[in-house]
Amino acid sequence: MKEEEKNLPPSDIPQDILRKMYVAMVNIRKFEERVAEILRSPKKEITTPCHLYIGEEAVATGVCSALRKDDWVFSTHRSHGHFLAKGGDLKALMAELYCKKRGCSKGKGGSMHIASSDIGLPGSSAIVGGTIPIAVGAALAFSMQDKDSISVAFFGDGALHEGVSYESLNFASLKKLPVVFVCENNLYCTHLSVAATLANPNIYKKAEAFGMHGIRIDGNNVMKVFKVAERAIADARAGKGPTLIEAMTYRWFGHVGPYDDLDKGLRSKEELNYWMSRDPIKVLEKFLLEHGFMSELERDQIHKAISEEVEKAVKFARESPYPDENDLLHNVFKT
């Protein structure tokens, strides 16, 4: 077990993947920035609570870039980044935030219940730790059906307060299931520091108790995330069992909403500035520019094109209809 991977050779990642990851992170960032603008507007166009992913883009992007379309991802209340990184449609996501009929969850889920089975994201949940056992169940199904697909459970550091998380880790390791556990440790469990809530804040070390590989990585370096995820995914697919990845990262905004929450005294301006200086997009951008994998003109074109697509998504959402009473029992299932 290693505390962190060092000297990973990022240059052995194909250039096309590096560029795609850059585009994916910018796509998430610009979408979330636009959502934040709308949330701050007095018009109150979006009323569903939004937990923004700005600052954490490298985790979802690095992991999902190593997955296949038939691999499944299970998300949390902070789900926008996972949806987009897995290939979700900007318009469908924006429409869902507006609770419109053309949204990816038909306007019934809002921000915290994003779903799109066609891209391999069966669901998200606002229940902390709630999708971890579901991801394990999916992995068990893949195993029983002799499929070589895998599942990924994304969760925050707060999920380690839930007993079901440990039950899931144990069962997955016991049965060597094809699942990867990705803890996005952004240092805060809602409004409390992780160090103030966990007796042992070294989350990756919890894997040792269940006989599985655990590793802590720099979650703001998408190249490192991709390499570690690629290895964990290959191991899971080969029947070697699960891996627990603790990706150290940081959310720029507060737990929920478009503000930094500095006025609440939960964290310091110095801490926020430090993590903003380690912007995951800038880390990859610098690498691409320095190695000639992208020009400044190409960078500017990427940003412009994505900004235009985000605006199209906003227009689509605003013009889409709301669900009506006839939609109430559609896409609802019972057992």
Predicted pLDDT of residue 6? 47
Q: Is 53 helix (H, G, I), strand (E, B) or coil?
A: coil
Q: Angle 57-64/222-237 helices, nearest 10 degrees?
A: 40
Domains in the chain, CATH or no CATH each: 10-316 (3.40.50.970)
pTM metric for this prediction: 0.92
- Residue (of 232, 119, 123, 117) closest to 178 by Cα position: 232
Cβ–Cβ < 8 Å for 112, 97: no
- Please state the φ and ψ torsions of residue 73, each to the nearest 5 degrees: -120, 135
3-state helix, strand, coil in the chain (%, to 5): 50, 10, 40
Predicted pLDDT of residue 11? 59
List, as one string, the DSSP characters of 207-227.
Answer: GGGGT-EEEEEETT-HHHHHH
Q: What is the pLDDT along the chain (335 residues), one digit of tens a residue?
A: 344 444 444 558 999 999 999 999 999 999 999 999 999 999 999 999 999 999 999 999 999 999 999 999 999 999 999 999 999 999 999 999 999 999 999 888 899 999 999 999 998 888 998 999 999 999 999 999 999 999 999 999 998 989 999 999 999 999 999 999 999 999 987 777 888 888 888 999 999 999 999 999 999 999 999 999 999 999 999 999 999 999 999 999 999 999 998 888 888 999 999 999 999 999 999 999 999 999 999 999 999 999 999 999 999 999 999 988 887 777 776 65
| Cβ neighbours, 10 Å, residue 31 | 27
Cβ–Cβ < 8 Å for 213, 219: no
Bridge partners, residue 133, by sequence: none
Cβ–Cβ < 8 Å for 134, 128: no
Predicted pLDDT of residue 3? 44
